[in-house]
Amino acid sequence: MKLNQRKDKNTQYTMCWLDYKRCEDENYINKVLPFISNIYIVENNYYIRNAALELKEGLRSVFGIDPIIQTNSYPDFKQGTVIGKLGNDVMERFISKTERDKVADEGFLIKSVTNDSKSIIVLAAKSESGIIYGVFELINRLRLKSDLSSLNIIENPKAALRIINHWDNMDGSIERGYAGDSIFFSNGRIKKSLKRIKDYARLLASTGINGIVINNVNVRGKAVWLITPKFLPQLSEIAEIFRLYGIKLYLSINFASPIYIGGLSTADPLDPGVIRWWQDTVKMIYTYIPDFGGFLVKADSEFNPGPYVYGRSHADGANMLAKALLPYGGIVIWRAFVYNCLQDWRDTKTDRAKAAYDNFKPLDGKFLDNVVLQIKYGPMDFQVREPVSPLFGGMEKTNQMIEFQITQEYTGQQIHLCYLGTLWKEILEFDTYCKGEGSYVKRIVDGSLFGRKYCGFAGVSNIGNSINWTGHDLAQANLWTFGRLAWDPDRSVEDIAKEWILLTFGDDKKVLENILWMLLNSHRIYEKYTTPLGLGWMVNPGHHYGPNPEGYEYSKWGTYHRADTKAIGVDRTSKGTGYTLQYHSHWQEIFDDMEKCPEELLLFFHRVPYTHRLKSGKTLIQFMYDSHFEGADEVDVLIQKWEELKGKIDENIFNRVSERLKMQKEHAIEWRDVINTYFYRKTGIPDEKGRVIYP
């Protein structure tokens, strides 16, 4: 071992929470040096060696040491970190059968072995992916100054699938991307440089992600051809980069590919020629990418082709693809985002919220075991607040993944600070009552409630080629939190956020306190000045940014919220659209009753007169005025909390965040004035507090 005091050269982009900062605590350094002075790998394969190199780089950056990776002296080691697979004879010297049996396929064990002659850290796993996850966990523990002498942890991911969805297009643009262009594609081609892709793989692996879909679910143009030899050689190189970090590559496909690529006259999933075409295509993909994860499919929705065109069901379409993938261990992830975007919203019985359940509930039990339904957390489209989709708990015989949108399409588009961890945690803790009390969403999507093999989390990526990956430096917390919740949905969001702050900004008490407050309160603040009470939308059509009270996407078919001069909201009760009937009886009763319905969802489930009094005693209209004023004012608190950190935060990061917060304040005022003006004009009821409502 030798000390290395050289400083890293600046890179053109940051590495978020992996920007390792030098530890200046000499007392801690002296305590841990024996445990990290050497790195021993008991199996010198390519993937384990890569994990050892990650550890070496982490130790070099944090502690200024340069440990040698050794493979031939482990019978006599006395100090250092030992890395290897469970079952190896050397590893078995330190690990009991009880400990070994507790480690799952992607899990890991990290324990210290200390006595008069040894100061050793043992890091073991069943798989290479478990080892890379364990290495990042060990680096994090060191950066957080954990006591290594008593370290003894076993961690296993609770969900089998922890996948990032990219909506990247071949021209380099990103649908709902707010952090620059794609790191994968440009000008109709796959980018040649893999440097940034490798750094991204490192970021994802450090949070426990194990799958990635790199292209948009709306597969059009050149992207249709990604599953052909024209692009597969380059995709195999990308797959290898992710494979090093325990991440499988998946691809979005166009259901009509047999027509577009194969020259067939049909894409009917029951047609023998179509079946053969997909079988041949899948076989070819696996010759290039042996551990290919499978396909993500958006079908029969928003003008994407699907089995409905041929009078077939979603089960027919998904199962045809699943059979082709089954011999290779691949899966089909079938999105449940299916609705008729051209329906007439003026019809009081028409309700987009019912669409996913109506389409998929009758198919429960008809999907093959390697088909997974990917279901948006709510029944609509990533609004600031929606109820949990009734499909969770409604399909006991079907694999299910929950889809979260990390990129903030309707929640400020990474211009506004809006930490989504608090919202996601509420959703995961929702009790569906499908098998009685305790039937939480988190137990459905981790597969344990119904004993399903393929379940998990899908997150729509929020990264691009911007200098800080996410446009807003604090939006990195959403990517981190998604990965950590997908790994363990039982974890406290506050603890996850704290960990991100400490790893990203260091352990200054004021920095931790202020940024934690900003994160944990930001979603509530954003909700206040935009669309409280489950109102939803009210954004500009198309790009979905900024206030537009009647700007629902398909406004020619009627406004979403159906506001008139007397009332606002949609009656989704059993006497209205009937949406509440899709829930189990416990929630049917609560959502049906205006007095029992959670007020944060009141306008989602009920049509409410403006004069209706809420539990606070305020009328609905006065609450709307107050909420928008309060939310805009509370952005000042976010700004103040950040300004207090001047000099404690890297100057470039500080200035970037300050600029975003300034924009957020301006836009919050615009939201406040536009929405309050709208309600004043609709109702003629003035703000009882005498604040200015612009006529």
Q: What is the β-pairing status of strands 456-460 and 399-405?
A: parallel
Alpha-carbon span 350 to 344, nearest angstrom:
7
To the query of whether residue 409 is one of the catalytic residues in this protein, the response is yes
To the query of whether residue 302 is one of the catalytic residues in this protein, the response is yes
Catalytic residue among 54, 409, 527, 634: 409
How many other CB atoms are there within 10 angstroms of residue 26's CB atom?
8
Q: Which two tokens stand for residue 368?
A: 């093959």
Catalytic residue among 171, 271, 381, 630: 381
The helix or strand, by DSSP H or E, that contains position 98, with its residue range, turns out to be helix 97-102
418: Cβ contacts below 8 Å, ≥ 6 apart: 408, 411, 412, 522, 523, 526
Q: What is the DSSP letter of 43?
A: S
Cβ proximity of 433 and 584 under 8 Å: yes
To the query of whether residue 364 is one of the catalytic residues in this protein, the response is no
Catalytic residue among 25, 302, 358, 666: 302
Alpha-carbon span 168 to 190, nearest angstrom:
11
Alpha-carbon span 1 to 571, nearest angstrom:
70
Q: What is the β-pairing status of strands 161-165 and 185-186?
A: unpaired
| Residues paired with 153 in a beta bridge | 110
In 336-433, DSSP assigns E strands to 371-376, 399-405
DSSP string, 68-83: PEESS-GGG--EEEEE
Q: What is the β-pairing status of strands 79-85 and 39-41?
A: parallel
Q: Which of 246, 222, 245 is nearest to 234 (CA)?
A: 222
User: 190 — phi, psi (to 5°)?
Assistant: -85, 135
676: Cβ contacts below 8 Å, ≥ 6 apart: 624, 625, 628, 629, 687, 693, 694
Q: At what angle do helices 128-143 and 195-205 cross, to 10 degrees?
A: 80
Alpha-carbon span 638 to 661, nearest angstrom:
8
CA atoms within 13 A on the CB side of 234: 16
What SS3 state is found at 458? strand
Alpha-carbon span 56 to 37, nearest angstrom:
10
Cβ proximity of 158 and 445 under 8 Å: no
Residues designated as active site: 302, 381, 409
